[in-house]
Structure 1
C-alpha cells in the first residue's frame, strides 16, 4: 500500500518547503522510497528553468529521489507571483492533467509521495483552479503548515474550515520559519490555543532551523512523525485511505479527460 499527502499553508513564507523536506528526509531515513513534487514553482531564473527551482531541488535531495525534475516540478515559472499569474506573464498554460500524469508516475515508483503546494490553500494555480482544487483532484489529504505568530489562530481555523469542504485534513504543523520572540505572549500560547479551537491534530511546534542541513531537517521530520503523524499514516494505509481516491474514481476520470474537478469558486466555497 502506498501513501501520499498534500502540504499546504496558511500563507506564503510559513515554511511549507522546510516541513516537506523534513518529512522527506525522515521517511527516507526509514528506508522508504520517497517521491516529492512541487507542481508549480515560481521565482525560477528563466535561464536555469527547472534547475533553478530551489524548493524542488531541496525536496529532491532530502528525499534521495532520483526521479527526473520534469516529474518533480512540471512547471518552473520565472516571476515571484501566484502560479497562475506567473504562468500568464510567461505565456505558459498550466494543465492539471499534466500535473496528475506526473504525480501518477511518481506514485507508481515510490512508497510515499509528498506534494507541496505554492502559497496558501486558495492561491490560483490556473485561470480557474486553486491549490485546493489540485489537492482534491489528486484525492490527497492535507497537511497545513502555519506560522507561529499573532493571528495564526484565525488563519489556521479559516484554512482548515475551507479545506475540510473538499479534502480530509491530517493536521496542522505549527512552524517557526524565523527565530521566535520568546517574550511574545502569542508565540507562547498559540499551540495551546490551536489545540482548543482547531478541530484537527496539532504537530509541533517545530523549532526554528538556524541552518537548513540534512541532519537538522531529519531531526525535525522525526519530531513530526513521533508526534503522531506516523500513526496517522499507518492508519491511512491500514484503512486503504489517502491515495486510493487518487488512483480511481471521479478525480482520475476527470483528469483523464483533461477536465479538473469543479473549481472552488463554482462549488459554493
Structure 2
C-alpha cells in the first residue's frame, strides 16, 4: 500500500493489515534444513569446524528451500529515528547526532557503511522519525513523526504510530524482495535507542532494567545509574502488557 494512503486508515484497518501480512509468512523448510545438515556432515572437514557459519547455512536452506543458497544481491536497511527520552539525560550524545550519522551513512563515512561497501552490499538509509532538520536526498523518507515522545512522561508512540512503523518496515522488505534482493540486513540509528530498547526488553522478558541495560555510547557510572532509574520508573509508570508486543 502507498505510504501516504496508509496514514489515512483507521486503527482497526491497520491491525487487520498487520494480521494478514503476518499470516502470509511461511514456515521454514525443515526437510531442507535437515538435508543441509547431512550435506555438511558429508564434507571432508571436522563437524562444526566452521562454527556459526554452518548454522547460518542451515537456516538459509530452510528459508530459501535450496540446499546451496546463492546470495547475489545484498542490502542493509538502516531505519533512523529519534527518541524523546533523551530529554532525561540518558545519552552521552546530543539528539542532532541521529541526523548527522544518517547522512554520513549515505556517504560511506561510518564503520557500517564502509563494511557494506567492501562486501558489495547496498546500504539504504530510511528516515522513520528523525527529529532535527537535515539535507540529504539519498535518505528515503518514510517518516511517521519527528521523533518519539518522552517515554518517562507519556507513551513514546501511540498504538497507531507503532503499527504504521511496523507496516512501513514490512513494505521496505517487500520492496527489496521485488527488486531482487536475496539477503536483507536490518539496522537502526537513533540517539537514546538503547534506553527505549532496554525498556522494551525489560517488559518482554520480565527482567529488571539493571539486568538488560548497557552503557550505550559510553555513559559514566552516575549517568548509567540514572539511565537504569529512568527505565525502571517508565516501566512502572506505563505497566505495558508483555503479551502484546505492539
- What TM bracket, shorter-length normalisation? 0.3 to 0.5
Q: TM-score, normalised by structure 1?
A: 0.32
Bigger relative CO (Cα 8 Å, ≥ 6 apart) = 1
Larger Rg: 2
